[in-house]
Amino acid sequence: MSIDLQAKAANPAPAPGDARHTSASTPVTPVSSPPRIPGRRNPRWIALGVVALCLGALLSYFIYTRLVTETAVVIMAETVYRGETVESSDLAVTRLSGETAAKSIPATQLRTLVGQKAVYDLPEGTILVPGGIGKVVIPADGRAVVGLKLTTGRAPAALLTPGSHVRLVALPGSSSSEQEASDKLAGKTYQASIIDQEPGPDGASVLINVEVESAQAPTIAILAASDRIVVVRDPAR
């Protein structure tokens, strides 16, 4: 009996809390991490992104087509009245598209317009079209130019711009001899247009060049020499 007891004592059973025996005899299984769940994509944001891309493409196309179809044309930077000479500072360039650009003068012809005359009044900002500026001959066929010197009160102030349509009204003569000779002329009117005007050297008169019919020019010249003309400004036509 004593021999058996000694044998059992020589090989004692491993204690449950002995870490060395546990690690050597039992393998440790690693614990795997749980799979990641993919995040959900908001369909509204996807739709907004698609719409933004489409709008950007449309805007780019619109800008491209506008730049391609636009044409550089000539416009008036300053007002030039009929018969006045056009200077380089009177002209500018802008870009237009459509039918308006097709009927305008291309910017490449700007230099050819300098030095010519306005065929009719060209206000500032006007888009030039063919025929607006050219070689104007003053006076035209069947017309004549007469110079007038009018005292204060015989012509409207600040309204005698070049190209303005006016009426020249004949006044009766001051002396008895002039009255007898001018009975048939007093009160008559003559259509004319202003070429240019400037203050007189005496400071109390205005010098005006008017274009009238050739047949009426001698009579108007006689009336002007006798200081018997009043200028009436008519509405613009």
pLDDT one-digit tens code per residue, 101-123: 778 888 888 999 998 888 878 88
Strand partners, 194: 210
Same domain, 122 and 153: no
Give the residue among 71, 74, 70 at the shortest CA–CA distance from 127.
74
Same domain, 157 and 226: yes
Give me the residues of the chain with pLDDT under 70, please: 1-41, 61, 63-69, 98, 175-183, 236-237
Same domain, 205 and 148: yes
Number of domains in the chain: 2
Rounded CA-CA distance 221/60 in Å is 67
Residue 152: domain span: 143-233
Q: Residue 233 in contact with residue 159, Cβ under 8 Å?
A: yes
Q: Do the bridges between strand 133-134 and strand 117-118 make them parallel or antiparallel, or are there none, so unpaired? A: antiparallel
**What pTM did the predictor assign?**
0.53
Same domain, 83 and 159: no
What are the tokens at 81?
A: 């009245």
Cα dihedral sign for 69, 72, 74, 77?
Answer: positive
Q: Residue 187 in contact with residue 228, Cβ under 8 Å?
A: no
Residue 75 lies in a domain: yes
Residue 197 lies in a domain: yes
Query: In this predicted structure, what is the pLDDT of residue 32?
Result: 65
Rounded CA-CA distance 102/65 in Å is 16
- Among 114, 134, 154, the domain boundary falls at 134
Same domain, 115 and 157: no
DSSP 1: -
Residue 66 lies in a domain: no
Q: Residue 190 in contact with residue 115, Cβ under 8 Å?
A: no
* Residue given tokens 């006045």 in the structure block: 84
